[in-house]
Amino acid sequence: MPKKPNKSRDEENFDTAKNYLQIAESPQRISGMRVPNDGWQLPGKPDRLDSAAEDAWRQAGFNLTQDLRLISDGLDIQARFAASGYKPSSRNMTMAGFATLWSRSLLTTSDAVGLVRRAAYQSAVPLARQTIELVSAQIGLTNELDEWRRWTHEAYARNDRARAVEQTVGHYFSGETIAADPDLRVAYRAASDFGRPNFGPSALFAANEANHERYPLIFGDQTFHVGWAELILGWLLLTNNRQLHLALHLESLFPATSSLREQTNTHVQAVAQQLADARRCRVEEYKDVDGRKRLLLTGFRRQPSDQGKRVLL
């Protein structure tokens, strides 16, 4: 059997994958595909918010207008772009493999934004991590379509003994994609560390003004914190751009109109410019004197007018 080509994040792998023996095409056919008719809108403010969370929603809308607008526009473009996969020439199980994961990443991003706006930052972090995994999985799928095809052949069999349908898990995680992208790699490491019960990040959520002498614990904190908001929304903007970049290069599966493709390119550039703002809170890789790669949090502050802190994790 010819040697399988080296993996790459580039969508050209979709074509080069044909150079080696593939698993047969998926046995299913697309028997229906529903997509939002009018693009996508972020969820509105929930009812009966705590007074602190209500104030956080207001402050986020005022201080993070550009971030929220770009994410909203990005999700709307994504929904309309994905809808192009409904065309008969594209409506196949290969398209469905990407769209299945894409649907999850879109919804996860939308849910995470709602949590950020109400200052539920610690709840939004795991969703940001999941978004990175879902978008990276789609990029990885360009070179590993056989993984999806194999699952489609194994799934939906009848297990008579259990009197159930075999919905095999189909484990898939594209760690190589994350590792190969410097921005995704740092964001994923940070979101993983912040989402777990580690002491350092937990203290940043519950007592972010603490120092060596005092520990001002705020139990169930729901007050606005521009640093947390900028950091998490920045991760969501990053995955938005990676998602749309992939969509632009899967033209045979998602044949969007030229006007939508042009709008997508303009949007991606606007997001990149927003993320390049040196004033925003971000996390970067830092190598200490022992050569250890650590995380450095910069621009960490509660209010936009506050002096940003640098926190080494």
Q: For 234-286, how does the pLDDT look when each residue is reduced to its tens digit (9 = 90+)? A: 999 999 999 999 999 999 999 999 999 999 999 999 999 999 999 999 999 99
- Look at the chain and report how many structural domains it folds into: 1
- pTM equals 0.89
The domain in which residue 76 lies consists of: 50-156+169-209+216-280
Has residue 4 been placed in a domain? no
Has residue 11 been placed in a domain? no
pLDDT for 138 equals 97
Strand bridging mode 164-166 / 157-159: antiparallel
Using one digit for the tens of pLDDT, what is the confidence trace for 151-205? 888 888 888 899 998 888 889 999 999 999 999 999 999 999 999 999 999 999 9
Checking if the pLDDT of 53 tops 60, the result is yes
Has residue 149 been placed in a domain? yes
pLDDT for 14 equals 55
Has residue 64 been placed in a domain? yes
pLDDT for 173 equals 92
Task: Give CB contacts under 8 A, 24+ apart, made by 280-287.
Answer: 280/230, 280/234, 281/226, 281/227, 281/228, 281/230, 281/231, 281/234, 281/308, 282/230, 282/231, 282/234, 283/186, 283/187, 283/190, 283/231, 284/186, 285/182, 285/186, 286/312
A 10 A CB-CB count for 58 gives 13
Summary mean pLDDT of the chain: 90
The H or E element that residue 290 is part of is: none
Checking if the pLDDT of 127 tops 60, the result is yes
Has residue 293 been placed in a domain? no
* Measured distance CA(236)–CA(63) in Å, rounded: 17
